[in-house]
Amino acid sequence: MAFIDGLAARFGFTVFAVLLGTFFFNLYRVRSHVRSLQKQGLPMPPHSFLFGHLKFVASIVQEMPPNAHGVYIADQIRQRFPEMNTAFYLDIWPVGKPYLMAIHPDLLYQLTQANQLPKDPGLQTFLKPLAGRQNLVTMEGSAWKYWRSIFNPGFSASHISSLVPGMVEKIEIFKKKMQEHANTGEMFFLEEMALNLTIDIIGGAVMDHDFQSQSKYNDMTSALRNQLKWSTTGIEINLLLKLNIFRPFVNMYNTWRMDRYLNPLFDNRYTTFQEKGTSPRKSVIDLALKAYLAENPSAQSIPDAFKQVAIAQIKLFIFAGHDTTSSAVIFTYDLLYKHPTILARVRAEHTAVLGPNIPNASALLTSKPHLLNHLPYTVAVIKEAFRIYPTVAALRIGQPDFSLVAPSGQRFPTENCIVLGDHYGVHHNPSVWADAESFLPERWLVDETHALYPPKNAWRPFEKGPRNCIGMELAMTEIKIILALTVRAFGIGDAYAEFDGSGRKGMKVNGMRTYMVRGTGGGHPADGYPCRVVLEGREEVEG
């Protein structure tokens, strides 16, 4: 017994010594690499050999609200070191690999447009429980090309236009709910309602299916949302969050719930497809089936391997298509209602294009979706809101012998780094944008000679280049319709003052209480956006 105890102790000690040795070896390796970059004169905040930039980042995080999104960090550093306005390194090992944070459009152009660096494999940590290993966001090379070309027709302008009536129907339900809140006058959380709306819209676009989550409980959307709540990016500092032993079980259960809902839908669609020989539909599910059957005309069934990838893609589209769009709608509302002159101009444009009778606008857009192309000021507002609140970023993995080059000629090697194409950092960079912190939709309407004219490649909420967002047009159309059907009918005011207690709860980021919080991928409005709604445009509503 004593012999076995001794053996176990020796084994335990050896494992501990190996782990400790590996830790210090990696610490030395990473810190030496970052130090060598520093010695070459490359920009970074003050670096400690023991802590890297961890203490420095922690000091920034501490000054922000506890749940503020990570997209703010690069901008906060630029504010402290104004000369670091193109790119800089950040060594956060062992929480994650060192980062090269790029906050200048020329560098992002090199990252995603002129070159194709692979996606950061860390994205899998977040996306795998949601959409498996094989999904359009994380795929590379020929597999990505194959699937992107299958889905592109589902996001063409003409197809999106055909989706408008379905979107209008769902927005009508949303309006009814807004009206109920206006009638009670009580404070409520807009995010929950907006998420239900956008997930219903995406269900229509991606699957030609109505989840009806705005009206009743839906197990698929509930499982997806729960999966998101349990998601992790893998770079949490909080070890309890990082190593939560329950996560894999919750993930498996939610995956089972989603598959239980989606599998029969997929099978039914396949049966219809077989019966009719083809499908005129262009939803993601139909496009996947069409592609398979075009390549395998004599197939009697869909192989499991193909079905699994197709369903993973569907889950990805439902996630990517609703989460970001809901946040964008709320941030746009927030900026609009805080700028009454801009709001008045948007309302005037809607009246001019859709007529003064507000309830008529839904039927009008259903029969004439092209009217959406006549709302330039509304589009300018949406673009400017995306500039102020870009909710996503581009993560790529650095490569040996690949550097990003600043306009000054300074070269930023990417090897051994995650490269963050930081949309928030670019959009708020005062060396790039005139009056970067102000909400100025007119910058999207002035000509090239004007000081406010947007610099080339500087607006990138949907990224640019071949891996840009496939759903950009869909999201823009959706937001346009939501605004066109609601901003004249309602007045929305945030209720943060009422919601906030004392202490940190009421903290702001860059002076804004409506800041982006982390949690489920992209930035979300803080605290679910507590607000109140009032009815406006009453004469027109009744008229």
Question: Residue numbers of the site for ligand HEM (CB under 6 A)?
Answer: 112, 136-137, 148, 202, 316-317, 320-321, 324-325, 328, 391-392, 394-395, 461-463, 467, 469-471, 474-475
From the number of C-beta atoms within 10 Å of its C-beta (0-12, 13-18, 19+), residue 338 rates as middle
Which of 195, 395 has the CB closer to ligand HEM?
A: 395
Reduce the DSSP state of residue 247 to 3 states and report it: helix
Provide the CA 57 distance to its chain's centre, in angstroms: 23
Which amino acid type is present at position 498?
E
CA separation for the pair 223, 473 (Å, rounded): 27
CB of residue 243 to ligand HEM, shortest distance in Å = 26
Please enumerate in sequence order all residues whose Cβ is within 8 A of that of 17, keeping only pairs 6 or more positions apart, or say none: none
CB of residue 394 to ligand HEM, shortest distance in Å = 4
| Closest residue to bound ligand HEM by CB | 471
Which of 225, 467 has the CB closer to ligand HEM?
A: 467
* Residue 274, token pair as written in the block: 């077989």
CB of residue 205 to ligand HEM, shortest distance in Å = 6
Which of 148, 518 has the CB closer to ligand HEM?
A: 148
CB of residue 341 to ligand HEM, shortest distance in Å = 25
Per-residue H/E/C for 52-90:
ECHHHHHHHHHHCCCCECHHHHHHHHHHHCCCCCCEEEE
Which of 141, 511 has the CB closer to ligand HEM?
A: 141
CA separation for the pair 12, 494 (Å, rounded): 56
CB of residue 514 to ligand HEM, shortest distance in Å = 16
Where b means 16+ CB within 10 Å and e means fewer, 473-495 reads bbbbbbbbbbbbbbbbbbbbebb
Whether residue 469 is annotated as binding a ligand: the answer is yes
Question: Would you mind telling me the total number of residues written for the chain in this entry?
Answer: 543
Angle at 99 between CA 96 and CA 100, to 5 degrees: 170
Contact 478, 486 (CB under 8 A): no
Which of 78, 159 has the CB closer to ligand HEM?
A: 159
CB of residue 284 to ligand HEM, shortest distance in Å = 8
Among residues 379, 468, 487, which one has the least CA distance to residue 423? 468
Contact 429, 436 (CB under 8 A): yes
How far are the Cα atoms of 33, 88, 147, 411 from residue 40, in angstroms, in the given order?
A: 11, 13, 42, 10
Which amino acid type is present at position 296?
N
Contacts of 359-365 with C-beta under 8 Å, sequence gap 24+, read: 359/541, 361/484, 361/485, 361/488, 362/168, 362/171, 362/172, 362/485, 365/164, 365/168, 365/481, 365/484, 365/485
CB of residue 113 to ligand HEM, shortest distance in Å = 11
CB of residue 6 to ligand HEM, shortest distance in Å = 53
CA separation for the pair 29, 38 (Å, rounded): 14
CB of residue 435 to ligand HEM, shortest distance in Å = 23
Q: Residue 157 — φ and ψ, nearest 5°?
A: -60, -40
CB of residue 174 to ligand HEM, shortest distance in Å = 17
Provide the CA 35 distance to its chain's centre, in angstroms: 33
Which of 118, 355 has the CB closer to ligand HEM?
A: 118
CB of residue 62 to ligand HEM, shortest distance in Å = 28
Q: Residue 530 — φ and ψ, nearest 5°?
A: -65, 135
Which of 138, 181 has the CB closer to ligand HEM?
A: 138
How many angstroms separate the first and last alpha carbons of the chain? 91
Which of 394, 485 has the CB closer to ligand HEM?
A: 394
At which residue do the structure tokens 């679910």 appear? 528
Which of 148, 257 has the CB closer to ligand HEM?
A: 148
Which of 68, 205 has the CB closer to ligand HEM?
A: 205
* Numbered residues of the known binding site for heme: 469
* Numbered residues of the known binding site: 469
